[in-house]
Amino acid sequence: MTKILLFTSCIVLLGYSIPSTSAHGLFLFPGPLDSPGFFGATRGYDLAKTDISTLRNPLSSPNFCRGKPSRSPVNISLKNGAQFTITLAFSLQANHIGPCSIQMIDPNNPDSDPVIIASVNGPNGCAVKPLSRYSTLDGPTSQVCPGLVPPGIKDASNDMCMSEWTFDVKNVDKIKCTTCIMRWLWSGQHLSVTDPEEYENCIDVRLSGETGGTPGPVIVTTTSLDTPTATTEDNREPTPSSKPRRKNPRKSKTRKPTKTSKSPKSVQAKTTYPKQEENNEDTQSDDLTSSGWSECKKSDNSSGPYYACAATDGEGADYFACYAEDSLRPPRKESCAPGTSCNQAGNWIKCY
């Protein structure tokens, strides 16, 4: 059974620059909100106290565990078929769709594939209605989710609410490490399905108790990608393939995490992204490109990037990234999230 209790918005708001959006996500702790010694486990957490963007922004380039050094491991126990809860935080500035997963990485065997112990596949992913409880326009987080704002982090109180994800653990028998890296990966599709933003956080853990060795009960069901993937006892998430991959993954290099006196030897680890929905749309359509030039010229913006909905009478999900500073640069076509449509808001757009 997978439960995702997320306090996020259901509106995409684009602003200020094409390379960035207002969406943010953060893996806070391998346990529930009331866990003792809750804060400080995430690699790089000390820096986040003064600059939260170092942990919650989308990755600007592939960098294993964001290049952050290891920390003292958190003791946890995993068992196949048993429930496990982690704590996440999301901003209220975007509809947090797109697949995500929890992976276990052996720092002493970095060439092996990460072991996926939980995943949410398909376009709905980490949080969409009806799972998402709050709206961006309801007010500041101090009013929207009192008591659920990450404490002690500069700027987090402006837009972030904490949440719990409870899932059924799987593949514990494949974990070969005792001191491991627990990694959260989210392929955010709130801005674009064809070019998602990648998010990642790492927490060092030490496995104890009944961890490993004994598989739990086998669960075989199917779940439609058109509905939220949070499940009940009668509707469990499908078991993903052993090596899920993104479509057309970016070529990248990983960097070794900084070595400390208490950490295992520095490693490079493979990045295995959750599987995305297939998208066969021709993004280079001549008609769409021509429409992009026309729509972009309607704006009075004279410098910098901006966005324009495709001319589909308010019913379409396509929009264009426009470049006022370079009149020869063709508009770039993007798509709103599945089930949403593009709505113009000045020089920007909203997908809802």
pLDDT for 292 equals 74
Residue 90: domain span: 25-207
Say if residue 114's pLDDT is above 90.
Answer: yes
The residue out of 150, 180, 207 marking a domain boundary is 207
Residue 319 lies in a domain: yes
Q: Which helix (H) or strand (E) segment is 343 a member of? A: strand 342-345
- Pair (200, 326) in one structural domain: no
Number of domains in the chain: 2
Residue 198 lies in a domain: yes
pLDDT, tens digit, for every residue of 153-170?
655 556 777 888 888 999
Q: Which residue has the tokens 């106290």?
A: 49
Select from 79, 43, 29 the least CA-distant residue to 208: 79
pLDDT for 91 equals 74
Residue 46 lies in a domain: yes
- Phi first, then psi, for residue 66 (nearest 5°) are 60, 20
pLDDT interval class at 131 (50, 70, 90): very low
Report the distance separating Cα 192 and Cα 198, nearest Å: 11
pLDDT, tens digit, for every residue of 192-246?
666 677 788 899 999 986 554 333 333 222 233 233 333 333 333 433 333 444 4
Residue 191 lies in a domain: yes
- Pair (36, 139) in one structural domain: yes
Compare 283 and 191 and report the one with higher pLDDT. Answer: 191
Compare 269 and 266 and report the one with higher pLDDT. Answer: 269
Say if residue 306's pLDDT is above 80.
Answer: no
pLDDT for 220 equals 29
CA angle 25, 30, 142 (to 5 degrees): 50
Handedness of CA 110, 101, 48, 21 (dihedral sign): positive
Residue 213 lies in a domain: no
CA angle 322, 326, 330 (to 5 degrees): 50
pLDDT for 144 equals 75
pLDDT interval class at 171 (50, 70, 90): very high
pLDDT for 6 equals 41
Q: Contact, 64 vs 268, CB < 8 A?
A: yes
pLDDT for 176 equals 92
The residue out of 207, 231, 260 marking a domain boundary is 207
Say if residue 106's pLDDT is above 60.
Answer: yes
- Pair (303, 195) in one structural domain: no
Residue 199 lies in a domain: yes
Q: Contact, 231 vs 210, CB < 8 A?
A: no
Which of 26-35, 140-149, 177-186 is most confident?
Answer: 177-186
What is the residue-averaged pLDDT of the chain? 65
Q: Which residue has the tokens 């929009």?
A: 319
> In the numeric block, which tokens belong to residue 298?
């309607």
Q: What is the mean pLDDT of residues 66-71?
A: 78
Say if residue 182's pLDDT is above 70.
Answer: yes
Alpha helix ranges (H) inside 79-149:
141-144
pLDDT for 57 equals 57
- Pair (37, 134) in one structural domain: yes
The residue out of 207, 224, 247 marking a domain boundary is 207
- Pair (46, 157) in one structural domain: yes
pLDDT interval class at 78 (50, 70, 90): very high
pLDDT for 93 equals 63
Q: What is the mean pLDDT of residues 52-60?
A: 57
- Pair (190, 63) in one structural domain: yes
CATH number for 140: 2.70.50
Q: What is the mean pLDDT of residues 130-140?
A: 51
Question: Percent of the chain scored above 90 by pLDDT?
Answer: 13
Compare 34 and 61 and report the one with higher pLDDT. Answer: 34
Residue 244 lies in a domain: no
Q: What is the mean pLDDT of residues 333-340?
A: 73
Residue 137 lies in a domain: yes
Say if residue 29's pLDDT is above 80.
Answer: yes
Give bridge partners of residue 29 from the DSSP assignment: 87
Per DSSP, the chain holds a count of helices (H) and strands (E) of: 4, 15
pLDDT for 186 equals 80
Q: Coil, helix or strand for 267? A: coil
pLDDT for 31 equals 92
Compare 41 and 169 and report the one with higher pLDDT. Answer: 169
